[in-house]
Amino acid sequence: MRIRKKEPEDVGLLFKRTKQEKLIFAFFFLLFAIYACVLIFPFIWLFLSSLKGGIEYELDNALKQAFALPDVAQFKNYFDAYSKLQYDGTNLWGMTFNSIWYTAVVTLEGVFFSSVTGYCLSKYNFKLKNLIYTIAVFSMTIPIVGTLGASFKLAADLHIYDSPLQPILSCAGGFGFNFLIMYGFFKNISWNYAEAVFVDGGSHFTAFFRVMLPLAKTPMMTLGIMSAINCWNDYTSVILFLPSYPTIAAGLYYVERELTRGYMPIYFAALFVSMLPIIIIFACFSDKIMKNFTMGGLKG
């Protein structure tokens, strides 16, 4: 017989509850369970609807049989999603390819450059250090509204509008929320590691690339996962600046606008497929995301 070993916290004083507390917790458990069902149910409905035939789905709607199960599960909808749905000549394969390169470029650049700025500003003393730090915090907390027009004009003037160069150039900044996280991380790392490299004849580059960057693997990975999820789901930047390179999020938005009757279940299948990479990433790294994502006071 296997006996479950209880975690020390489970049996601690903190988690012992009085009768009244148990009632309060039971009430909130019920609320949480209802809320969880509200969040989960639509996806079960989406999956079931993605298995219906086009005419069957329209008929069910006409008869207001929203809870009807599919007569026969049409798994071919998932194959049709890749061949039949397209926007401006780009099918779901093309959109997936665009999503992959767009996510990779924005994520790698964003995490790398915020690590660079975080490291340089936290570990070195130089003339412009305080000015750069103040500007970095200022530009993050001060809400400047309506610069989209100027950004759009700049992209047009630089001839990077609707070109992969647009995300490559515009995302090579190292400031913002990621910078603050990396700055805080490097601030707490001992400078002795770098000094050991200098004693062995290594340069500042060796210290950064060979020692400090590997030490920052955990926060960089957490920021990378968060950034990758955001980029994969980003549709507004793609609609605005890269209309000829629809990612899966932007592409599905375009597809829905042009959808004809009978194609809804295929579209639902495409939506379901588009969620899979994110769900897989989240399933693999949910612990990393949940544990490492904390925020302290922003006092600067």
Partner 1 sequence: MGGENFTDMSKKNIQSSKNTMQSKIKKFFSGQTGFLFFMLAIPIINWLVFWLYVNLNSILLAFQRASGGWTLDNFVHFWQSLTIEGNEMNISVRNTFLYFSSNLLIIMPIALMISYFLFKRIKGYKVFRIIFYLPCILSPVVLTTVFKQTIKPWGPVGVLAQELGFDYPASGLLGQASTATLTIIIYTILVGFGSNMLIFSGAMSRIPNEVLESAKLEGCGPFREIISIILPLIWPTISSAIVLAMTGLFTASGPVLLLVDGFNETSTISYWIFNKVNGNGYGGGGQYNLVSAAGLCFTAVAIPVILFVRWIMDKVTDAEY
Residue 225 and residue 288 in contact, taking contact as beta carbons nearer than 8 Å? yes
Structure tokens at 24: 């309060």
Residue 142 found at the interface with partner 1 (CB under 8 A): yes
Which residue reads 């999956």 in tokens? 47
Q: Which stretch binds partner 1 (CB under 8 A): 33-41, 75-83, 100-108, 182-190?
A: 33-41
Residue 150 found at the interface with partner 1 (CB under 8 A): yes
Q: Which stretch binds partner 1 (CB under 8 A): 69-77, 173-181, 185-193, 210-218?
A: 173-181
Minimum Å gap between C-beta 121 and partner 1 is: 9
Residue 1 found at the interface with partner 1 (CB under 8 A): no
Q: Nearer to partner 1 by C-beta: 66 or 72?
A: 66
CA 64 to centroid of chain Cα atoms: 36
Residue 124 found at the interface with partner 1 (CB under 8 A): yes
CA-to-CA separations, 150 to 161, 165, 173, in angstroms, rounded: 13, 18, 18
- Work out which of 96, 204, 215, 288 binds partner 1, going by CB under 8 A: 204
Residue 89 found at the interface with partner 1 (CB under 8 A): no
* Angle between helices 92-123 and 76-84 in degrees, nearest 10: 80
Residue 299 found at the interface with partner 1 (CB under 8 A): yes
Closest CA relative to residue 103, chosen from 247, 216, 252: 247
Give the 3-state secondary structure percentages of the chain, helix then strand then coil, rounded to 5: 70, 0, 30
- Work out which of 148, 165, 196, 280 binds partner 1, going by CB under 8 A: 148
Q: Which stretch binds partner 1 (CB under 8 A): 74-82, 100-108, 214-222, 232-240?
A: 232-240
Q: How many Cβ atoms are within 10 Å of 231's Cβ, its own excluded?
A: 22
- Work out which of 61, 83, 130, 134 binds partner 1, going by CB under 8 A: 61
Q: Nearer to partner 1 by C-beta: 80 or 231?
A: 231
Exposure class string for 238-260: b at 16+ Cβ within 10 A, else e: bbbbbeebbbbbbbbbbbeeeee
